[in-house]
Structure 1
Amino acid sequence: MKRIIVLIAAIGLGACKPNQGLITTSQAPQQAPGSVSKAPDKEESTVAKVDATKVDVNWMTLDEAVKKADAEKRPIFIDVYTDWCGWCKVMDRETFNDPVVAKLLNDKFYPVKFNAEQTADVKFKGHVFKFVPSGDRGYHQLAAALLNNQLSYPTVVFLNENFDMLQPLPGYRKAPEFHMMAQFIGEGHYKTEKWNEWQSHYKSPYGSQRNEP
């Protein structure tokens, strides 16, 4: 535990706690290790009908994102998930499968998928993060650092162009709510205005489907 705290501080990933950063949100469905809660097989779809063209998120590894950012600066978006997390699967199907969300992630971020229980070492910002066996599953040190040691899934994480933490946001988010958050970060609005100011003039591409956090 002490090593994780040191790593969080050393790489600048402990600047804020969930729901205490740039974006303030209500409680969202999530699962912690050992949780017996189960996400619904079918969630009412919020996939945007504003564009029928299928768009896939161009997911990449963190290493690939860092290399791309060396050539062209962009914030990094990280979806921290596990294979057993039901709400992670719902978010894949209903949020990241949304063409408007996918286009925003592709255009404004380097989008990364990170399995919080992967066993391969990851080098990031001069540190090597490893898998830690614990209980029935274990966890990856990078996941613990990104999530401020609060391991619940799904959690999405926003890093700025210098790979410093902007904010982790735990829980399942429907496409309209997520789009508002991602556009706030991806287009740099957070640098000049507060979250409540952004909410007041944000123009939702979902019309009446707009879902404020």
Structure 2
Amino acid sequence: MKKLLLLFTLLISVAVSAQKINWMTMNEAIAAQQKAPKKIFVDVYTNWCGPCKMLDKNTFSNPDVAAYINKHFYAVKFNGEGNESITLGDREFTNPNFDPARTRTRNSPHQFARFMGVRAYPTMLFIESDGKLINKVASYLTPNQLEVYLKMYASGDYKTIDSQEKFNEYYKNFKPTFQTK
């Protein structure tokens, strides 16, 4: 009986630790939003970006981060220098200067990344269910650093934070709950 209980506990811990973010394309998220409105979280990365790879390895692989994003957002993985075509409303965004020979190095910025004001990688975009940009956060963040933004935007608390002073107070009083190694 003890062995069975130990095996069951081990299987549950493996299942919980294997939590992955359900990444989709921007077009898939826009389509999903029309069926069931939900905010969109976009990880804007590039293939050559070291901090982007660290974000994947250290932050997005965290089971608490993955579970929270999956529950509260449509999660989009978007290459800011890729060649994906995005249709947002009546606009189409492409990367007309994309060079396929440069997929592993710096390439031309995508029109969607420029439209969203992305100037550095990684940048995480938080988009309201009506498609309007709430905010963008550019930088590598640990799970607990990202947690404050995820919860502030998912809950709608950001609507009462209209100054840097109020954000600083919110951040100071925030108590992270995501487990880290």
- Normalising by the residue count of structure 2, what TM-score does the alignment of the two structures yield? 0.78
Aligned equivalent of 1:205: 177
Aligned equivalent of 1:144: 114
Aligned equivalent of 1:131: 95
- Take 2:176 and 2:160, find their aligned partners in 1: how far apart are those partners? 20
Structure 2: gaps spanning 5 or more residues: 1-14, 100-105
Structure 1: gaps spanning 5 or more residues: 1-50
Following superposition, the deviation at residue 52 of structure 1 comes to 5.5
- Take 1:110 and 1:84, find their aligned partners in 2: how far apart are those partners? 25
Task: Choose between structure 1 and 2 for higher RCO, CA contacts under 8 A separated by at least 6 residues.
Answer: 1
Note the alpha carbon deviations across 1:106-142, whole angstroms, 9 max, x for none: 0111110001121232211210111132796212100
- Take 1:134 and 1:112, find their aligned partners in 2: how far apart are those partners? 20
Answer yes or no: is the 8 Å Cα contact 1:74–1:161 preserved in 2.
Answer: yes
Q: Identity over the aligned pairs, expressed in percent?
A: 31
Note the alpha carbon deviations across 1:79-108, whole angstroms, 9 max, x for none: 000111111000000010011111110011
Aligned equivalent of 2:3: none
Moved more, 82-91 or 194-203: 194-203
Question: Counting helix residues as a fraction of each chain, which structure ranks higher?
Answer: 2
Following superposition, the deviation at residue 187 of structure 1 comes to 1.7
Which runs of structure 2 are paired with 1:24-35 in the superposition (5 Å)? none
Following superposition, the deviation at residue 202 of structure 1 comes to 2.4
Which runs of structure 2 are paired with 1:87-98 in the superposition (5 Å)? 87-98=51-62
Does residue 114 of structure 1 match 2:78?
yes
Does residue 168 of structure 1 match 2:136?
yes
Residue identity matched to 2:91: H
Which runs of structure 2 are paired with 1:66-85 in the superposition (5 Å)? 66-85=30-49
- Take 2:113 and 2:62, find their aligned partners in 1: how far apart are those partners? 25
Consecutive aligned runs of 4 or more in structure 1 exceeding 2 Å deviation? 51-54, 191-203
Does residue 101 of structure 1 match 2:65?
yes
Residue identity matched to 2:107: R
